A and B are shown apart, each in its own frame.
Chain A
Amino acid sequence: MAKYMVDEALCQAHGRCYAIARSVFGPDSDGYEKDAGKGWVDIPPERLAEAREAENACPETAIRVIEGD
């Protein structure tokens, strides 16, 4: 399955990712992406395109999406 990872050193809580892909990304209580620093997280195949869009929109390149195992 495809996966994403959010680099905790880079996330600045801009919120673009969860504005674009609400079904994949979301804010924690301080507005940082909720999975920042938590390693690889699975993305259901039907959400992959959205996740890629958010990856490309993050102004810090904090999001990395990989496909395959």
Chain B
Amino acid sequence: MKSVDYETEFDLDAPDFPAKFDEVSQEVLTKCPIVQSPALGGYKVVFRDEDIRAVAKDWQTFSNRFGYEPNRNGDDNARLFPLEIDPPYQARWRSVLGTHLGARAVATKEPSIRAHVNDLINDFVGAGECEFVEAYASQLPGRMFFSTFLHVPLADLAYVQKATDEAVSLPIAAGESTEEYAERRQAGWNRVAEYLEEYMRKREEEPPRGDIVDSILQGVELDDGEQAPWKHKLFVMLDVLAGGMTTTTFVLAGLAHFLATHPEDRARLAADPSLHTNAIEELLRYYASILALGRTAMEDTEVGGCPVKKGEMLMLAYSVGCRDPQIYDRPNEIDIDRKISSNLAFGWGSHRCPGNSIARLQMRITMEELLRRVDGLELAGADSNQISHSTVTRNWDTLPVKFTPGAVESVEFVEEEV
């Protein structure tokens, strides 16, 4: 990518962008605050922390209604709410999610998540090696959603997980046209939607448990005062699932990669748990998993001094903004003592991630248990080609690691009060 003309050729999906992420992001951040990409029918990309925050905060000028990425026409059957709606309707769904996903509610899930963490570690700890994405990082977010929150049998998980991957994180295949790629992703969405719809229909017949599903089924009002239709409830369930899968997988893999490659930091963290919270913020910044997310300009305007036309799609490159040298000294280095006053990895403004507390909790428990149970963690393969991009997400595809074999522990799954 080094040789491309960013003003005319920048492409979020360029196959060599992941490998050159550090240098390309510094180059665009210092040379061109905004670029026009010819890919996917054309979109602009916003890179700088300040510009991203300004756009994300101004929902009246920059709408989410026309989709979170290019080529989502809005009349399909698998939209994501509240991601693809604007306030005030959007804010009412946020209140529903906040009750169940806020920091206080999430703290009660700690025992369940810790049991899953230790159960997953049990499956690989004796072997002395594993492929960490497959064995752990891609498993925990699904368990959190389906088991901790929905209490559905783990046996159903593999199917939904695969369909979710196809919808959210599947990279474009060699020789595949943009249309074929979009169709393949849509097919994934439809399978996930079918599964969740069936689950919600079933729950509607059962006595309420007071969980997030019941609150979503109860619904909110549309802006005209009518009750939100069934379809919208499905779109909210889809968002809570899809929003937390690949994103969390990426940071969990990033955490293991960090521990395997930074033995000094690892020793400090093992000796002093009071460093964990700050270190996790830094890891969320460095391994920011949302590559970019879209807004559509509702009028002719300006971003970072560059003209933007009504109807144009802007992709807010949160992951790149997290490396902005205006904000961070040595942005491409992990510094676990760095003070981050406000983490752009979770977005900004009215759509800022409602799952942030769950993501932070999964990171914290994973850090604690890996430090406690998995000694001598090291990379077991070449430190390259592990990451791919799919327009919106950064995906950690593979992470072979080795370590001193450890002992299996007994794990008790706490029955939650539902």
- Which residues in window 50-69 of A have CB below 8 A to B? 59-61, 64
A5 nearest in chain B by CB position: B91
Q: Is the CB of B356 within 8 A of A30?
A: no
Given known pairs A9-B357, A61-B57, A64-B350, the reply for A36 and B341 (CB within 8 Å) is no
Say if the beta carbon of A44 comes within 8 Å of chain B: no
The interface-forming segment of B42-50, B96-104, B252-260 is B96-104
Say if the beta carbon of A39 comes within 8 Å of chain B: yes
Say if the beta carbon of A13 comes within 8 Å of chain B: yes
Bound-complex Cα distance A10 to B101 (A):
9
Residues of A within 8 A of B354 (CB): 7, 9-10
Bound-complex Cα distance A12 to B341 (A):
12
Bound-complex Cα distance A59 to B91 (A):
19
A-B contact pairs, 18 of them (CB 8 A): A7-B352, A7-B354, A8-B98, A8-B102, A8-B104, A9-B94, A9-B102, A9-B355, A9-B356, A9-B357, A10-B102, A10-B352, A10-B354, A12-B357, A13-B103, A30-B104, A32-B103, A64-B91
Bound-complex Cα distance A60 to B351 (A):
11
Q: Is the CB of B342 within 8 A of A32?
A: no
Residue from A5, A8, A36, A61 with most neighbouring chain B CB atoms (10 Å): A8
A56 nearest in chain B by CB position: B57
Given known pairs A9-B94, A59-B342, the reply for A37 and B102 (CB within 8 Å) is yes
Say if the beta carbon of A43 comes within 8 Å of chain B: no
A37 nearest in chain B by CB position: B98
Residues of B within 8 A of A60 (CB): 342, 352, 356
Say if the beta carbon of B95 comes within 8 Å of chain A: yes
Given known pairs A9-B97, A9-B354, the reply for A61 and B102 (CB within 8 Å) is no
Say if the beta carbon of A48 comes within 8 Å of chain B: no
| 7 tightest A-B CB contacts, nearest first | A8-B98, A9-B354, A59-B342, A9-B98, A8-B102, A9-B101, A37-B98
Residues of A within 8 A of B95 (CB): 7-8, 37, 39
Query: Which residues on B are within 8 Å of A, measured CB to CB?
Result: 57, 87, 91, 94-95, 97-99, 101-104, 341-342, 348-350, 352-357
Render A26-41 as a binary contact track against B, CB cut-off 8 A, 1 for contact. 0000101000110100
Bound-complex Cα distance A7 to B87 (A):
13
Bound-complex Cα distance A13 to B342 (A):
13
Bound-complex Cα distance A37 to B357 (A):
15
Bound-complex Cα distance A7 to B350 (A):
9
The A contact surface, by secondary structure, is loop
Residues of A within 8 A of B353 (CB): 9
Closest beta carbon of chain A to B284's beta carbon, Å: 13
Residues of A within 8 A of B91 (CB): 5, 64
Residues of B within 8 A of A13 (CB): 103
Residues of B within 8 A of A30 (CB): 104
Bound-complex Cα distance A5 to B90 (A):
13
Q: Is the CB of A8 within 8 A of B341?
A: no
Q: Among A5, A8, A10, which residue has its beta carbon within 8 angstroms of that of B99?
A: A8
Q: Is the CB of B104 within 8 A of A32?
A: yes
Residues of A within 8 A of B99 (CB): 8, 37
Q: Among B104, B348, B355, which residue has its beta carbon within 8 angstroms of that of A61?
A: B348
Residues of A within 8 A of B102 (CB): 8-11, 32, 36-37
A8 nearest in chain B by CB position: B98
Q: A9-B353, A11-B102 are in contact. List 7 more A-B contacts (CB 8 A).
A: A8-B95, A9-B94, A9-B98, A9-B102, A12-B357, A37-B102, A61-B348
B340 nearest in chain A by CB position: A59
Q: Among B97, B98, B342, B355, which residue has its beta carbon within 8 angstroms of that of A36?
A: B98
Q: Is the CB of B341 within 8 A of A59?
A: yes
Q: Is the CB of A12 within 8 A of B352?
A: no
Residues of A within 8 A of B349 (CB): 61
A9 nearest in chain B by CB position: B354
Q: Is the CB of B352 within 8 A of A61?
A: yes
